[in-house]
Structure 1
């Protein structure tokens, strides 16, 4: 059984005493137990209530009902064997939610971004927020840049998109008429944070629409238009999405690009808890990354974290020879493993540690047992030492291969390809985090 399933079972067992304590009906004056989840409006508006209700049903709570306490505060009430429970979902924003977690006014915080340096410093007592036991990636969303089918554009770089949305000079993409949705919302916040340093979006030629679907429809009627919409926005006939680059490889917003987070306009929906979070809080957090909960994520129009079947292999003729040899005859699993050398608990980024558990569970299913994988590593280029990238990529691939082999998963090939196929340009920490990665290919 995968480790995360074991942890879930342990915490469900830890909740069992609640049932024993509730053998007699609760007195009218008793204060019900309360689980407080604060943070992002984007997550808290629809996704989190749906996840909470699914979690409560999984724990055999009954009488589940929603009670609105304020415009940005919802309570979900439920009962099990006479013991009431109230789950409080407050969506006053990621910053307010993280502060509530630090101050002990919430057990869990919802963030559609990573905590910034100031927040991490303020929350030092929470423990290792990069740990897979405290940081839970529950869903993915993202932005698609769409154009008319007759547009000459096939790709766009983030630098070009940044200049376009800021109203500055932009080379190579002409002067498209930009179509955007409402100025308030998760997509707008993401674009400001990712591209304009928090400043408002001010393209030279801008038209706002009542919703993102209308923005996409406007592109279908205008060959000179360009819209930025969410991944779940329905696209009308006559439009197509552009591949997007970040100074490196241009990646399409397809299943592999999104699920692997190689596509640069993906944003994450996280849940955070402290190292001493309550049993109820940890139970909900662990539930949120289970296959059952990820079906709820999909139903909300978001990208789930469950491991999909292997994607079709890339066109071999389009691959560099070393890469082609490493993945010959294989199909890529839609994920990318990344590393966090600053974590106190794992060498992997928290979501990558959770991905590895999913891979192990999937490959240990009877229908997949015995299938082998090819492990392919990449690293950031070092202009002063060309061997460093090759050594680093091989080391990272070996680490992943050893992890898989320890769990009985056959590894047929392990390759380190150094700085081949970089996702991000530059030599800063962001580029290193993007370029130092491992892919898994199913043979």
Structure 2
């Protein structure tokens, strides 16, 4: 078995990182890995994961060294013989990571948005970046909409956000608030955070960012600027709310949701997003492969949580029933707990997406550890609104059956499979990404 195949096997098997604590090679130049891309990942999470991997490898004196270039650093470790291992991290925005892969100046791309079709085509020579081994979801993040702490506004919908950030709504009074002229703050064009906001909020409505927006490469600087401006509003990754105030957000017919960890973990929160590492299938850097495997391990996910993002560790949570829920769903919430994971599907397909494939093993491990594999699990499917409600009901149950088929292979015996059709949407059905979010399967345990 080659080293590359070995690491990918470890990843698929879901083994802890201690299983790959074999020595990794260190070149005479000392640079063992180059990561470029997302500032959201590269500012803190990426370096922390690299440090964790280095310590797993038994390296000593693990530390960060600041570069002369803004938003760049090195993580350095040392062998017992004094040989340096250096990982270079440049965090200038998600698109720069894919450019660096194309130019062979990076081994891994860090991205806070999915790879674009144009990038997949441009990087064809490196293999399929949408394949299960290449596209690695390492964490879930939520884009928080932030205000000055004293701003009295408590919630906005995504339509209002589009009007604000495009410059159509110029005063707080235009969106039901108070305070006069709105000052808009945004990340720069290279940022995956901006790409995500643009895709979820602006482009969906045919709008573009206002020319008056104040732009920032740094998440921390943007957040601090908003928290000092009583008329300011901005968007930011969840760990960077800092001293600002986060708003509750609605999308379409969804309930208003604050960026709470459980709602982001399930990706129900309207502005939730996935954070990725992209590993070229035809790459041959064992450090890149080892970092991906470490990031997916329980130790790696603990580092994700420690850095303010949402780990993919499965937990059970209680759900308080309310009048907006169907009666059968209310009854379920009174007697069972929901797991903090939703299974979702590839666009236009009944095939589980790459994150869902990773989550199958996580869910099974949870069920086995908590003795829930024998008739103590209910799967609940949902769909997007269609002209024929009966069709939506059927498809929602078929999606739940698709998850059932996979978990049955591991020996799980289910209590019930339910479909709720297009009820309880978590996103608008007027856009493809909203419909994808609504096509989901929840896991409930007794």
2:283 equivalent among 271, 277, 294: 277
CA contact (8 A) 1:38 1:90 kept: yes
d(CA) in 2 for partners of 1:251, 1:399: 29
2:376 equivalent among 362, 372, 378: 372
| Offset at residue 267 of structure 1 (A) | 2.8
Secondary structure (helix, strand or coil) at the match of 2:33 reads strand
CA contact (8 A) 2:305 2:311 kept: yes
CA contact (8 A) 1:313 1:331 kept: yes
1:340 and 2:346 matched: yes
CA contact (8 A) 2:141 2:275 kept: yes
CA contact (8 A) 1:322 1:417 kept: no
| Offset at residue 424 of structure 1 (A) | 2.7
CA contact (8 A) 2:222 2:234 kept: no
Q: Which residue of 1 aligns with 2:217?
A: none
Aligned CA distance change for structure 1 residues 312 and 141 (closer, same or farther; 3 Å): same
d(CA) in 2 for partners of 1:291, 1:390: 36
Q: Which residue of 2 aligns with 1:301?
A: 308
d(CA) in 2 for partners of 1:231, 1:349: 24
CA contact (8 A) 2:143 2:272 kept: yes
Matches within 5 A, 1:2-401: 4=11, 6=13, 16=22, 18=24, 30-32=28-30, 34-71=32-69, 72-80=71-79, 82=81, 84-145=84-145, 155-169=155-169, 173-177=175-179, 178=182, 190-197=196-203, 199-201=208-210, 212=223, 215-216=226-227, 230-232=237-239, 233-234=241-242, 241-278=247-284, 279-307=286-314, 309-315=315-321, 317-340=323-346, 347-365=351-369, 372-383=376-387, 385-401=388-404
Unaligned runs of 5+ in 1: none
Secondary structure (helix, strand or coil) at the match of 1:196 reads helix
CA contact (8 A) 1:34 1:87 kept: yes
| Offset at residue 33 of structure 1 (A) | 5.8
d(CA) in 1 for partners of 2:259, 2:318: 15
1:437 and 2:440 matched: yes
d(CA) in 1 for partners of 2:444, 2:321: 14
Structure 1 stretch 187-196 or stretch 66-75: which is displaced more?
187-196
Q: What value does the CA root-mean-square deviation take over the aligned residues?
A: 3.8
Structure 1 stretch 416-425 or stretch 242-251: which is displaced more?
242-251
Aligned CA distance change for structure 1 residues 325 and 125 (closer, same or farther; 3 Å): farther
d(CA) in 1 for partners of 2:195, 2:348: 28
d(CA) in 1 for partners of 2:187, 2:101: 28
Secondary structure (helix, strand or coil) at the match of 2:139 reads strand
| Offset at residue 62 of structure 1 (A) | 2.3
Structure 1 stretch 391-400 or stretch 190-199: which is displaced more?
190-199
| Offset at residue 93 of structure 1 (A) | 2.6
1:414 and 2:431 matched: no
Residues paired across the two proteins, number: 421
| Offset at residue 34 of structure 1 (A) | 2.0
d(CA) in 1 for partners of 2:127, 2:379: 32
CA contact (8 A) 1:35 1:86 kept: yes
d(CA) in 2 for partners of 1:415, 1:181: 43
Unaligned runs of 5+ in 2: 1-8, 214-219
| Offset at residue 338 of structure 1 (A) | 0.4
Secondary structure (helix, strand or coil) at the match of 2:163 reads helix
d(CA) in 2 for partners of 1:366, 1:328: 20
| Offset at residue 70 of structure 1 (A) | 3.9
| Offset at residue 400 of structure 1 (A) | 1.0
| Offset at residue 226 of structure 1 (A) | 6.6
| Offset at residue 181 of structure 1 (A) | 5.8
d(CA) in 1 for partners of 2:198, 2:151: 26
Aligned CA distance change for structure 1 residues 327 and 42 (closer, same or farther; 3 Å): closer
| Offset at residue 111 of structure 1 (A) | 0.7
